[in-house]
Amino acid sequence: MIDRELLPVATPTRTRRMLGELLRPHRARVVLAVTALAGGAAAGLLVAPLLGRIIDLVVDGGGPEAVTLPAVGLVGVAVVQGLLATLGVAQTAQVGEVVLARLRERLVERALGLPLDRIEAAGAGDLGSRVTEDVAQVGEAVREGVPALARYGLIIVLTFVGLAVLDWRFLLAALAAVPIQALTARWYLRLATPLYAEQRVAGGAQQQQLLDSTVGLPTVRAFRLAGRHTELVRQRSQRVVDLALQVVRLQNGFFGRLNLAEFVGLALVLVVGFLLVRSGTVSIGTASAAALYFIGLFGPLNEVLFLLQTVQAAAAGLARIVGTADLPEPDHPVPVRGAAPARVHVEAVAFGYRDGPDVLTGVDVDIAAGARLAVVGASGAGKTTLAKLVAGVHRPDRGTVRLAPEPPGSSLREAVALVAQEVHVFAGPLADDLRLADPDAGDAQLRAALDRVGALDWVDALPDGVRTVVGAGGTALTVVQAQQLALARLVLADPPVAILDEATAEAGSAGARVLESAAQRALGGRTALVVAHRLNQAADADAVLLLDGGKVVEVGSHAELLAADGPYAALWAAWSGDR
């Protein structure tokens, strides 16, 4: 396997520092939130003493009318508690969500700024999972974990305070349960986080298998693979079931231990109450209030201990997010648009990937301004590498790639656009997809670009024209349509130099013809380098370059090379079947 150079993960210190940085502008709000939540929890603590007061009044034989005042007090507590909880939860969520939004924006900015070879070295999955799963996990913690944790945590702390106020010995009794709870939480966290992670992986694998089998249904049928695929689905599904049973075992153990803690604490509180009442230190009402306080802790304690897991899992995700968001600010390109075509000058270029052998050696190419060069050759001859060097994606190890005239103040990458075989339609309205290439383009420009690549007819036939939602979750486009869209983006990006790397290859032979004529129109008025599979593309180009084993074998016009009767002529004869 290839060694993966994963993207950085932030240290806890660095994560805390960044969180602090992001939280700083919201200090006032944080104080307000904590104050509101604490106030609400404190108000809630008055419930038990008020109930205790009613009991005391009853025991002391105060008439039925005496009960009214504490009852009205209970209503007041409820209102105050409700209003403060609303304020506290809303403010906590506000801070959390705003910080999360800043964090994810910074993550995406830094992620998109990473050089391609860095992303590939890490594996595409690494960045993808940071942008999706990690952000989702932290979001879940922010949405469900943090406000609840803050609220219940404060309730617990203040309940303990309340118990101490009733009598410090009640607090001691209640604290006797804490070691059990602490051990339970530690035990649970140790087992739960890896188990839940495994569960997510298994769920993902099941989903992926189903998608794999479903997308490939025609293939499954053609090759009669239904039995094997049913078995694969069964295996993945069984794994999910097995893990679910492990989870229920774990949660059962968790709740069982907490039940024990509840009983121990409650029994001790009652014993202390008994002793204190017998010695006349506290009233029966106070002892009742203490018991009610403690029963009231069951829910919040369960919630907090359970939520700790969400927070722990989120912390791991947060470290990965911060690791990426913390990268130096990228040097985003400023595309050169609408400049006159430039001459491309490649001189004595050699290049190898990382520590591998040279993929290209001693390559000299000259493309006249506005001319089209077709690059042909077998797989592994170095065609795509040459394309990437001219596009400025990689820098040559030796030799130079220059434009003449050099665009003032711009790098190679900013002057050259590259359209590759890979088709991706960006999810959302089709117009937004196109505007990635030219954010300022008006509708008329979009339509002109679509028209130029022969896509306007089918775009107009879409339900909402250029506003139709396409890509993932929207109207599905064919491979040919998606690649036409890529060419329309190229027209809008309007670079002086354009590179097509097998941009017509995935389409099938009939689609390839449609795309070739679209490409020809899109390339008009630019200097172009086209990596070609179908040799008719070479025949149409101004010049042809034949690569083999990273070296230039032949270069010249199609007619010249046929006349020379060299390797290209042989290739042409084999391709066109003209023997």
Partner 1 sequence: MTVSTGRSVLTGSIGAFRGRVGLATLCFGGHQIGEVLVPVLVGAVIDTALRTADTSALLGWLAVLGLDFALLSVCYRLGARQAWIADVCADQRLRLLIARRLLAPAGGAEKGRLPGELVSIATSDTKRVGLVNFGLPLGLAALAALLVAAVALLRISVPLGLLILLGTPPVLYLIHLFGRPIERRSEAEQEQAAQAAGTATDLVAGIRVLKGLRAEPAAVRRYARTSADSLAATLRATRSQAWFSGTVLIVNGTFLAVIALVGGRLAAADQISTGQLVAAVGLAQFLVDPLQELGWVNERFAQARASARRIAELLGAPAAVRAGTGRPPARVDGALHVRDLRHGSLAGLDLDVRAGELVGIVAADPADAAALLSCLAREADPEHGSLQLDGVPLADYAPESARAAVLVAAHDAELFADTVRANVGAAAPGDRDLTPALAAARADQVVDALADGFDTVVAEHGRTLSGGQRQRVALARALAADPPVLVLHDPTTAVDSVTEAEIAAGLRTLRHGRTTVVVTSSPALLAVADRVVLVDGGRVTALGRHGRLLADRARYREVVLG
**Closest Cα to residue 391, out of 357, 351, 440?**
351
Cis-peptide into 405, omega within 30 deg:
yes
Q: Which residue from 161, 180, 191, 284 is in contact with partner 1, where contact means CB under 8 A?
A: 284
354 binds partner 1 (CB under 8 A): no
Site map (CB under 8 A) of partner 1, residues 294-333, x = contact: -x----------------------------------x-xx
Contact (Cβ atoms closer than 8 angstroms) between residue 121 and residue 108: no
User: What is the pattern of x (binds partner 1, CB under 8 A) and - over residues 251-280?
Assistant: xx--xx--xx-xx--xx--xx-xx--xx--
Rounded Cα gap, residues 557 and 178, in angstroms: 85
The smaller minimum CB distance to partner 1, of residues 303 and 347, is found at: 303
CB of 36 to partner 1, least distance (A): 10
| Window 112 to 141, contacts with partner 1 (CB under 8 A) | 112-113, 116, 119, 127-128, 131-132, 135-136, 139
Show the binding pattern over residues 63-82: x = contacts partner 1 (CB under 8 A), - = does not: xx-xxx-xxx-xx-xxx-xx
Residue 372: count other Cβ atoms within 10 Å of its Cβ: 23
**204 near partner 1, rule: CB under 8 A:** no
On whether the CB atoms of residues 517 and 471 are closer than 8 A, the answer is: no
What secondary structure letter does DSSP report for 262? H
Q: Are strands 543-548 and 527-531 parallel, antiparallel or unpaired?
A: unpaired
Residue 282 has phi, psi (to 5 degrees) of: -125, 160
Q: Considering only CA atoms, which of 487, 392, 468 is closest in space to residue 428?
A: 468
Stretch that binds partner 1, among 165-173, 342-350, 473-481, 556-564 (CB under 8 A): 473-481
Q: Rank residues 9 and 67 by Cβ distance to partner 1 and give the closer one.
A: 67
Task: Tell whether residue 143 is a contact of partner 1 (CB under 8 A).
Answer: yes
* Nearer to partner 1 among residue 253 and residue 368 (C-beta): 253
CB of 479 to partner 1, least distance (A): 8
For position 439 contacting partner 1 by CB under 8 A, the verdict is yes
Which residues lie closer than 8 Å to 351 by C-beta, 6 or more apart? 358, 359, 360, 385, 389, 394, 396, 397
CA 222 – CA 224 distance, rounded (Å) = 6
Q: What string of H, E and C letters represents the secondary structure of 557-570?
A: CHHHHHHHCCHHHH
| Nearest distance from C-beta of residue 13 to partner 1, angstroms | 27
Q: Which of 427, 559, 563, 564 binds partner 1 (CB under 8 A)?
A: 427
Restricting to residues 487-546, name those near partner 1 by CB under 8 A: 489-490, 493, 495, 502, 505-513, 516, 533-536
Site string for partner 1, 367-386 (x = CB under 8 A): ---------xxxxxx-x---
* Number of chain positions touching partner 1 (CB under 8 A): 175
Cβ closest to partner 1, residue 366 vs residue 506: 506
- The distance between the two most distant Cα atoms of the chain, rounded to a whole number of Å, is 120
Q: How far is the CB of 348 from partner 1 (least distance, A)?
A: 25
Residues 15-54 binding partner 1 (CB under 8 A) are 47, 50-51, 54
Smallest Cα–Cα separation from 558: which of 534, 525, 526, 577? 534
Nearer to partner 1, 118 or 398 (CB): 118
User: Cα separation of 297 and 397, whole Å?
Assistant: 68
Q: Which is nearer to partner 1, 282 or 365 (CB)?
A: 282
R_g (Cα) of the chain, nearest Å: 34
The DSSP bridge partners found for residue 418 are 499
Kindly state the helix (H) or strand (E) to which residue 281 belongs, with its residue range. none
Of 436, 559, 563, 564, the one binding partner 1 (CB under 8 A) is 436
Binding mask 214-243 for partner 1 (x = CB under 8 A): xxxxxxxxxxxxx-xxx--xx--xx-xx--
Q: What CA–CA distances, in Å, run from 416 to 406, 407, 413, 539? A: 12, 11, 5, 24
**Token pair recorded at residue 7:** 């993207």
Segment interacting with partner 1, rule: CB under 8 A, options 10-18, 57-65, 345-353, 555-563? 57-65
CA-based nearest residue to 418, from 506, 489, 477: 489
Residue 75 CB, nearest approach to partner 1 (Å)? 5
Q: Mark the segment that binds partner 1 (CB under 8 A) among 155-163, 204-212, 306-314, 557-565.
A: 204-212
